[in-house]
Amino acid sequence: MAVATFVDETIKYPLKLIEKTKVSPDSYVFRFELPSAKHIHGLKPHQHVRLHANVNGEEISRKMTPISDNEIYGYMDLLIKVYDKTDQYPDGGLFTQHLDTLKIGEDLIMSGPVHKLYYEGEGQFAGRKVKHLAGRKFKNIILIGGGTGITPLWQILAHSLKYDKEDINVWLLFANRTPKDVLMKKELDALAAAYPRFHVWYTVSTPDEGWPYSVGYITKEMIATHLPKPSDDTITIVVGPPPMKREAVFPALEALGFKDELIVR
């Protein structure tokens, strides 16, 4: 019988790093061992875990979403982008740089579940962010993501495709800097090929030669072309960098007539 790991956010677990795999120029899948071979992570789609660490003498934490299925026993995978120091951000991402130094066999403290939104299945969502939508079932789920914002969206779409009935359709519009930065593209394309009710489209700021998808920031035209029209049985969930959401996505959705109450920010 499965034992859920993250059921009380006040309980902290030291979880051991057992594997680290590079999946893009600056992103890795960190595999952590759960308390026993009988344990699953126990999170609902879009719920997070909180990672805790002492960095330069300061206790800090960050929220992350597993990409591994809740039916996997004994371990949990986290897809994490390491933000190095740059001229624009001289400190970079202190927490992710700390994670990058974690050695195989070392522990990281985690707690959870953390959530303001989670997917219950069959087009229904719950949590503080969507109290006003309690009990409503959506036939169209639009997911708009940027960068590592794909991780919570992945949990929703993977769960929906695996468990929901055929009348639930899922669209993903995924923005990144370059084609090499498109995390989980192989997995996303495989799902799109296997499930006709899943539609994915990409856009990058700097394309390679022959890039077959969109180029540039997400626009009104891009949304109108590759996503369904707004309706009362369509919910839109946006996860990504604040400038992308504030300057591109939300103005475009508003211009196209998407209702604010049906957009999860």
Question: CB–CB of 118/46 below 8 Å?
Answer: yes
The DSSP string of 101-136 is HPPTT-EEEEEEEE-S-EEEETTEEESGGGGGGTT-
Phi then psi for residue 179, to 5 deg, are: -55, -35
62 is in an annotated binding site: yes
**Half-sphere exposure (Cβ direction) of 195: Cα atoms closer than 13 Å:** 25
Q: Is 151 annotated as a binding residue?
A: yes
**Structure-block tokens of residue 182:** 């498109």
d(CA 142, CA 235): 6
| Interatomic CA distance for residues 202 and 222, integer angstroms | 10
Could you tell me how far CA 42 lies from the centroid of its own chain?
17
Please tell me whether 79 is known to bind a ligand: yes
Of the candidates 175, 172, 176, 206, the one whose C-alpha atom is nearest the C-alpha of residue 188 is: 172
50 is in an annotated binding site: no
Mapped onto helix, strand or coil, the DSSP state of residue 13 is strand
261: exposed, middle or buried (Cβ count in 10 Å: 0-12, 13-18, 19+): exposed
Q: Which 3-state string (H, E, C) describes 134-196?
A: CCCCCCEEEEEEEHHHHHHHHHHHHHHHHHCCCCCEEEEEEEECCHHHCCCHHHHHHHHHHCC
Query: Hey, what are 88's tokens?
Result: 């624009």
Binding residues for FAD: 62, 79, 81, 151
Binding residues: 62, 79, 81, 151
